[in-house]
Chain A
Amino acid sequence: MATVSVCQYQPRGFSFENCKRNALLEADSTKFGFNAPAARKTGTTICGIVFKDGVVLGADTRATEGMVVADKNCSKIHYISPNIYCCGAGTAADTEMTTQIISSNLELHSLTTSRLPRVATANRMLKQMLFRYQGYIGAALVLGGVDCTGPHLYSIYPHGSTDKLPYVTMGSGSLAAMAVFEDRFKPDMEEEEAKSLVRDAIAAGIFNDLGSGSNIDLCVITKGKVDYLRPHDVANNKGVRTGSYRYKRGTTGVLTKTVTPLNLEVVEESIQTMDTS
């Protein structure tokens, strides 16, 4: 007997209905004067450069929560694998968890294949995850490393698009850092020159962008070696007070001095044992 079946469209993939609901709720609650807590963002200037023997990644160290600096020395260069590191800009929790998830998956992949992981693999994993979440995971990343095919550098945007380039910058200070790179980048630089260029690019972001500040961290990755320089440069030293407002003894003249002992009688004494079990 023939059965009539109605083909129903089965919605597949992640449902973003709650994101719309949350946006509406937040908009409504602001009317009553209630501001939802701001997500801690990294503000940030992050950048990376490919030089002769490898890759140099750089980052500032300020984490902001709205208009307040939440962490003056946070670490934005995350470990992905022994030969691959990733800088993260955007929502701090998102960059932290995303890089940890991919790092874990990449280690399993590396154990299965018995090979050192490739930067292109990490890039694919990151972009496929971010695309799946359609930009709601606010993670903008600079991924760099050296593998069997050479040094590679990628920039990954929150919506899941990637660029493979010799120099990249991301974050709120990216325009200032990119200006420095566009002026002074040359292919096949030496390590010291590359480190100096990345340091200057991050410094441009730190001093010209309100969302970036504090120190400059660098990570130099070459074949078989990683130099994690934290901090590479303390660009903003806390000032030392040059004077003191304390008055010296003798500033105020003493005319008379009288000592009066207070004789107190013990009226009642009681002991209460403390329960230390």
Chain B
Amino acid sequence: SVNGEWRSSKVSTGTTIIAVTYDGGVVIGSDSRASMGGEYVSSRVINKVVQVHDKIFCCMAGSLADAQAVTNAVIHQLSFHSMQMGEPPLVQSAASIMRSFCYNHRDELSAGFIVAGWDSKRGPQVFQVSLGGMVLEQEFTIAGSGSTYIYGYVDAKFKPGMTREECLTFTTNALSLAMDRDNVSGGVVHLAIVTEKEAEKQLIPGNKLPVIQSLE
């Protein structure tokens, strides 16, 4: 590290990403740090929650170049699919398109994703599309290097059928805890809340995040 080897390493998203379903919608959140070689923060404000369609979002983890390339390809293919079907796409379709990219190029890519959103057929859904192309549907999921620090917290605190406010508190607390402990997660919290009516984006700056001592 004295020779600055971080310069020749890929930009990694580091990351803590989370998606949680609640009664009537889904909350998706991420931190905002991109790092190189575990040493240099190349960007402290990147948004890892990307809108792939009106009511479907996807969170990126892993190599930023791979994640951006796959996400752009998914946006392209999903909009095509949606135009062909003549209706808004299912969250499962988005996850499936994501999975086909991740699986077919599993030897060359190193990126994992969370696909979450709302559709008229099955309501709010969360899918985790991991590194090799495995797809798992879950009520809530966490991913990224910072997620290891909050498994205990989310397993203890999650309840199915929360209200919107409870879900936002849960998500923000989980992200704050992970960002405090993981060196490659940090910055601000990007949130997206998707319901039947609309998809709303929020940003919580670093100094407005909940402080650990006051978490119940």
Binding site for B on A (CB under 8 A): 13, 127-128, 130-131, 134-135, 155, 157, 159-163, 165, 172, 175
Instruction: Give Cα A155–Cα B36 distance, bound, in whole angstroms.
Output: 14
Partner of A163 from B42, B67, B108 at Cβ < 8 Å: B42
Supplied contacts A157-B64, A172-B4, 17 more A-B pairs, CB within 8 Å: A128-B69, A131-B66, A131-B69, A134-B108, A135-B10, A155-B43, A157-B11, A159-B11, A160-B65, A160-B69, A161-B11, A161-B65, A161-B67, A162-B68, A163-B42, A163-B46, A165-B43
B7, CB-defined interface residue at 8 Å: yes
What is the minimal beta-carbon distance from A229 to any residue of chain B, in angstroms? 28
Q: Is B34 an interface residue (CB 8 A)?
A: yes
A127, A134, A159 — most chain B CB neighbours (10 Å): A159
**B154 beta carbon closer than 8 Å to chain A:** no
A163 to B, closest residue via Cβ: B43
Assess A159 versus B7: contact at CB under 8 Å? Given A165-B43, A175-B40. Answer: no
B45 proximal to A (CB < 8 A): yes
In whole angstroms, how far apart are the Cα atoms of A157 and B108 in the complex? Answer: 18
Residues from chain A with a CB closer than 8 A to the CB of B46 are 163
In the bound complex, how far is the Cα of B43 from the Cα of A165, in angstroms? 9
Of all A-B residue pairs in the complex, the 10 with the closest CB atoms, nearest first, are A161-B64, A160-B65, A159-B65, A161-B65, A159-B10, A161-B11, A163-B43, A131-B69, A157-B11, A161-B68
A157–B7 CB distance below 8 A: no
Q: Which residue of B lies closest to A170 (CB)?
A: B42
Q: Complex: how many Å from CA A131 to CA B63?
A: 11
Q: Closest CB of chain A to B169's CB: distance in Å? A: 30
Residue of A127, A131, A159, A161 with most partner-chain B CB within 10 A? A161
Chain A contacts of B108 at CB under 8 A?
13, 134
Closest to A13 in B: B108
